[in-house]
Amino acid sequence: MYTYNVTISVDESVHDAWVAWMREVHMPEVLATGMFVDATLHEVLVDTDSGRTYAAQYRFKDSEDLQLYQQLHAPGLQAKTAAKFGQKALAFRTVLRTVDTFQGPVTPPSL
């Protein structure tokens, strides 16, 4: 499994509208492309003077899904968000590969 991680710095002046947009419009539109299994929106807990930071994470099964998304859907969806929020919501993207998943509580092995 893989995660397409989009980290976004959001200016306070558009914060509430941006969160509503992500919840009600953008993330549902990304999932509607059929390229992702699920999505999660996280607030990054850091102190900044320039606003708040979020990580929108979209999980996908194989690299072909991400490639198709980036070719067919990402340009239009990113342009739509940029038209609405401009420089007040700046994003950078990374791709993560899941190495392992653990469930808690876990008992450590005895030595």
Domain ranges of the chain: 2-97
Report the distance separating Cα 41 and Cα 23, nearest Å.
Answer: 8
Taking only the tens place, the pLDDT of each residue in 42-67 is 999 987 777 899 999 999 999 999 99
The residue with tokens 């791709």 is: 95
Q: What is the mean pLDDT of residues 24-34?
A: 97
pLDDT confidence of residue 17: 98
pLDDT at 109: 77
- The phi, psi pair for 7, rounded to 5°, reads -100, 125
The CATH label, of 2.40.50.100, 3.30.830.10, 3.30.70.100, 3.40.50.300, for the domain at 2-97 is 3.30.70.100
pTM for the model: 0.88
pLDDT at 56: 98
Contact 89, 9 (CB under 8 A): yes
Count helices and strands (H / E) in the chain: 4, 4
